[in-house]
Structure 1
Amino acid sequence: MSRSSSSLVAPVLVVLAVLAGCSDSAQPAQPAPPSRPFAPENTVRPPSPQTWLAQVCAALAPAVRSATPIPPTNTADVAGTRDRVVAYLDDRIRGVTTAIRGVNAAGPAPLEGGGASTDAVLDGLNQRLGAIREARESLEAVPANATDTLFYGLQRARAVLVVPGPDALRDLAVPTPLTDEAAGVAECRALTTP
């Protein structure tokens, strides 16, 4: 072996020895500790009854504002009356839909069985919405020149849309155990303010 090749062998052997030592000491990666999505620092506390009542009563405000008396029937202009009633029904649909979204966003009432209480509110609002939509669709289906049929359609719509007062809407949404607390919440008081 020549002197130059022997001088290269030594550094190559040192590099190989270092690499072999590194591979022996390598250990498999440790698995990450499991995540704790429900750790105490991540818990979400239910809102206070006052906060929840404020959210729910504010959500009901558009439904209350739209619950005005249905426009009167003008027998001399039944088709025009139908247009005004359809616009009125559209406003009621928007108001109740907004209320449903707001009650959903507020979540269950912060009390025992609060989920069932909120479900009852949403069921009541959805039934109301269904009745209003049905009245609108049946009225819209009557041809403008069918004056007698249109007149009776307006009367049926009027009968279906007995306007629940603001107290009825508030009482629907506020669980009985929270009635006294609702009296102290400005948003709930505003529902009954003329």
Structure 2
Amino acid sequence: MKKNKTIAYMMAATLLIGGAGLGTKALFSDQAEAKGNDLKITMGNLHVKSYESDWKVTSGKGTEVKQGDAKNKFKDVKPGDSFEKKVTIKNEGSLDQMISISGGGAKAGVSISSDVIIKNDLDNAKDFLLKPGQEKDFSIKVKISEDIFGEYGKDGSWNLESLCGADYSNMLDGYSINATQVKVGENQK
């Protein structure tokens, strides 16, 4: 029994020493919160818009060109007269946009007389960058050659009874204006 008492005393002493050590050890603690839910994301957008003016007579020959009843229809046009339309492309989105233009030109199966000269800034436009709110202007110009022949030019007269004309709205394709997002780190032209 003496042996049991000795073991009991040793265990009691171990508990006392361990308890005394824990009781004198001072532990400090603190707590903080991190808010991970305060992030708000609003995505940017791409929005490109084109604005076109009506056709304007730009010839400086001093002859009056009478406009027809409808917009963009002209009467009493003579050789040397020219017309111009302005096209404005605007970035109405919130992101930088790379703009490319395709289309235009004569529709398939349509040939346009070489006596009608069409110059178009849109045809020569390379891809270009538009920042938000920026715009770029282009022009489309049509000129009737001064030495035009055909029905009007026969016999040295411009006063024939058969009037010739052309509806270019059915001969030319429209343009497609495409906007692409500029990626972070992408080489901006």
TM-score range normalised by the length of the shorter chain: under 0.3
Structure-1-length-normalised TM-score: 0.27
**TM, length-normalised to structure 2:** 0.28
**More strand per residue:** 2
Q: Higher helix fraction: Structure 1 or Structure 2? A: 1
Flag the structure with larger Rg.
Answer: 2
The one of the two structures with greater contact order (alpha-carbon pairs below 8 A, sep at least 6) is: 1
